[in-house]
């Protein structure tokens, strides 16, 4: 699996022509091949956002050297999660930064007339997973970015703010994290 920077929004991804939004991918992490990976089909995947559920096409590419296939995931997807990266980040922001309880987060989401089916157990899973990844996220910021934390990063809300500030620089946190770290963001 490869996480790559695509259009900034899922709607741009959905409505662009196929040829225009699949970037050419070079380099295989499996064998170290540096050349172009070849298109090798598609599969469909659901993406849940605050505003609804969408079905998107995910490109698979194949390394001509080792014959391994990789899914080319857009940066707004988190591997093995149906909820988009930005939806999870928004929910974590409400929980950690604004201090909303799970029930307050759910009532806030209902105001959007959301078509997604959020429940307290999903929020709890996101909360626990983020807590378990905090030390890795701190490591990422300290070693792979020019954002060096000068104050206490033991608070999860501060880490969420760092992720948001990184994204505001038009740099995909999800893609950068995937490229720099041995595991993807939110991996177990």
The predicted-structure confidence for 100-135, as pLDDT tens digits, reads as follows 999 999 888 887 666 567 888 989 999 999 999 988
Domain, as residue range, for 67: 2-74
Asked if residue 186 belongs to a domain, the reply is no
Asked if residue 128 belongs to a domain, the reply is yes
Show Cβ contacts of residue 72 under 8 Å, excluding neighbours closer than 6 positions. Answer: 2, 4, 22, 23, 25, 58, 59, 60, 61
The predicted-structure confidence for 28-77, as pLDDT tens digits, reads as follows 988 999 999 999 988 999 988 888 888 888 889 999 999 999 998 888 88
Distant-in-sequence contacts of 17-21, Cβ < 8 A, 24+ apart: 18/57
pLDDT at 170: 83
Among candidate residues 40, 74, 108, the one where a domain is terminated: 74
Among candidate residues 45, 74, 103, the one where a domain is terminated: 74
Asked if residue 187 belongs to a domain, the reply is no
pLDDT at 94: 93
Q: What is the DSSP letter of 148?
A: -
Asked if residue 79 belongs to a domain, the reply is no
Please report which helix (H) or strand (E) contains residue 143, including its range: helix 120-144
Asked if residue 188 belongs to a domain, the reply is no
The predicted-structure confidence for 1-34, as pLDDT tens digits, reads as follows 778 776 555 655 665 545 445 678 889 988 999 9
Cα-only R_g, the chain: 17
pLDDT at 182: 85
Q: Are 65 and 37 in contact (CB under 8 A)?
A: no
| Spatial distance between the Cα atoms of 70 and 110, rounded to a whole number of angstroms | 36
- Is residue 40 domain-shared with residue 127, that is, in the same domain? no
pLDDT at 8: 53
| Spatial distance between the Cα atoms of 166 and 135, rounded to a whole number of angstroms | 17
- Is residue 89 domain-shared with residue 49, that is, in the same domain? no
pLDDT at 57: 85
- Is residue 7 domain-shared with residue 50, that is, in the same domain? yes
């Amino acid at each position: 699996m490869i996480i790559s920077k695509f259009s900034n929004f899922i709607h741009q991804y959905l409505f662009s022509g196929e040829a225009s939004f699949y970037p050419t991918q070079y380099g295989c992490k499996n064998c170290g091949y540096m050349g172009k990976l070849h298109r090798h089909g598609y599969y469909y995947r659901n993406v849940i956002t605050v505003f609804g559920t969408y079905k998107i096409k995910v490109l698979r590419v194949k390394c001509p050297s080792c014959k391994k296939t990789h899914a080319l995931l857009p940066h707004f997807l988190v591997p093995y999660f149906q909820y988009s990266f930005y939806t999870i980040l928004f929910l974590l922001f409400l929980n950690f930064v604004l201090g909303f309880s799970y029930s307050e987060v759910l009532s806030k989401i209902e105001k959007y007339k959301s078509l997604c089916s959020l429940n307290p157990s999903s929020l709890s899973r996101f909360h626990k997973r983020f807590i378990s990844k905090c030390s890795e996220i701190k490591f990422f910021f300290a070693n792979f970015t020019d954002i060096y934390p000068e104050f206490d990063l033991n608070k999860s809300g501060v880490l969420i703010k760092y992720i948001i500030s990184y994204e505001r620089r038009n740099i995909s946190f999800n893609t950068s994290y995937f490229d720099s770290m041995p595991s993807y963001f939110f991996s177990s």
